[in-house]
Chain A
């Protein structure tokens, strides 16, 4: 199993550009989440999904969209990038049978200039 994969690893955007961060998992996990990590602020939940077709907002959802058309994929879309969205983004998946332990992807480092 590849586990949780994320692409790209690094990305530089100009203010106002849009892009999609990709996340996929091959463990058939029902739950998937997106977090952003900023220095001194830990990880903050952006959006999450409890299954295909079901998504909900986390703590910091503004400026981001998600969809979950399949169990495997959970892309995060930045609609109009802003410098405040410069961060490291982590995708994670979990399932009930493992006590909901979150498995994290390797992260995407995004810089918005």
Chain B
């Protein structure tokens, strides 16, 4: 059964810092890995999607990497801003096993960027 773990569970940083969020998964049989953002009381917003054949994706101040063989992904946020405060979720789209075709989510990292 696929398991996704995110570290740290919570992170508080001053504005302007560069930061890294970590995600690991146990089964490398995946189609893609996605990073989502969730604001309090809101749904999820897709930030980046990395296909299994890709190594990284970039969008603005965000850069996500994927090392499928080691089961790891990182989300790098440059020059953090208070508006980046949210919960960040990592999810893998499974390509095998009983969870085929389904997203398995991590528990999330709660990020607070203070002015």
Q: Do A and B come from one complex?
A: no
User: Which A residues have a C-beta under 8 Å from some C-beta of B?
Assistant: none
